[in-house]
Amino acid sequence: MSLAAAVVVPAAPALLPGIGGTADPLADLRERAAALVAATTGAKGADRLVVVGSGATTRVWPGDAPSGAARFTTGRVPDGALPTDLEIGRQLAPSGGGEILLQSVAADASSQECAALGRELAAGPPAVLVVVADGPATLTDKAPGHLQPDAAPFAEGLARALAAADTTALAALDPATCDRLWMRGRAALQVLAAATDGLAGELVAEESPFGVQYLLARWA
C-alpha cells in the first residue's frame, strides 16, 4: 500500500473563503482542517497529496481547474470548474507543496465502484489522502435535510468508525440510507476504506453547527 496517511475534512462550502459572508462562521474549522492536513503531510514527508471528494462523475481534474465557488454567489460558473469538495481540498492543501491529484468520485457510485477506485489510488505513488466528506445533514429541524430520528445514532457510528479507522464499517455504509440522511460523504469515505489498511485512527474534531455532521480525522 502506498498511502502513508489519510485526513478526513468537512465538505462544507463555507470552508471556502468568502462563501460564509463577513461572519465567516467556519473560520476556526478551516484553520484546524488546514493545520491537520499540513501537520500530517509534514510528519510523513509526503510530496504528493491525493484529494478525493464527491462530484457528478468519477474523474481526475487538472490542478489548475477554475474555481466553482461562484455557484454559491452569482451562479455563473466557468466551464470545467472544480466540484466544491475538490475545491475545498485544494484550498486546504499546504502552499508550496508537491504534486496534488484531484480525484472526484461520482456521488451515486456504487460501493463496489468506490472500492475499485480506492484500490487504484492505493496502487499509485506514495501519497497522503485527503478525503472531503460530511456526515448526515439531518441532525436538527433546521438542517438542510430537516430532522431524521436515526441521523444522530448514525452520526455516532460514523464518528466511531473514523476514530477506530474501521474500514469494514465504512465499506458497509448503505447508499440508500446515506441518501435519505443527506450524507454527502459516503462515496469518498468508501474510497478511503478501500485505499487504506492497517492505519491507526484519530477523531480530531466533531461538530454540527448547522445540523450537519462535520468531522476532522486522521489515519496514520
Q: Distance between CA 84 and CA 93 in Å, rounded?
A: 14
- Model pLDDT, residue 97: 65
Average pLDDT over residues 147-151: 97
Count of Cβ atoms closer than 10 Å to residue 176 Cβ: 7
Q: Give the pLDDT score at 83.
A: 95
pLDDT at 18: 78
C-alpha cell at 32: 484546524
The pLDDT score that the predictor gives to residue 89 is 96
Residue of 178, 196, 57 whose CA lies nearest to 131: 196
Name the band, by pLDDT with cuts 50, 70 and 90, for residue 125. Answer: confident
Whose cell is 464527491? That residue is 54
Burial environment of residue 137 by CB neighbours within 10 A (0 to 12, 13 to 18, 19 or more): buried
**In the structure grid, which three cell numbers stand for residue 218, read together?**
486522521
102: domain CATH number is: 3.40.830.10
Edge-to-edge order in the sheet of strand 59-61: 59-61, 99-106, 48-55, 127-132, 3-9, 214-219, 201-207
Indicate whether 183 pLDDT > 60: yes
- Give the mean pLDDT of 202-212: 96
Is the pLDDT score of 192 beyond 70? yes
Work out the angle between the directed axes of helices 186-195 and 111-122 (0-180°, nearest 10): 40
Task: Convert the pLDDT of each residue in 61-97 to its tens digit.
Answer: 999 998 877 787 777 788 889 999 999 999 999 887 6
Per-residue confidence (pLDDT) for residue 128, from 0 to 100 = 95
Please say whether the beta carbons of 19 and 142 come within 8 A. no
Q: What is the DSSP string of 101-117?
A: EEEEEETT--HHHHHHH
- Give me the mean pLDDT over the 128-138 stretch: 98
**Which residues have CB under 8 Å from 30's CB, separation 6+?**
15, 17, 92
Q: Is 71 left (phi over 0), alpha (psi -120 to 50) or beta?
A: alpha
pLDDT grade, residue 153 (50/70/90)? Answer: very high
Residue 73: per-residue pLDDT: 73
Is the pLDDT score of 130 beyond 70? yes
Q: State how far the Cα of 2 lies from the Cα of 204, in Å rounded to an integer.
A: 23
Number of folded domains in the chain? Answer: 1
145-164: average pLDDT? 98
- Across residues 95-102, what is the average pLDDT? 84
- Report the distance separating Cα 176 and Cα 161, nearest Å: 19
Q: What is the pLDDT of residues 1-49, one digit of tens each?
A: 468 999 999 999 999 987 867 789 999 999 999 999 999 998 887 788 9
Query: Where is pLDDT greater, at 44 or 119?
Result: 119
Range of the domain at 70: 5-219
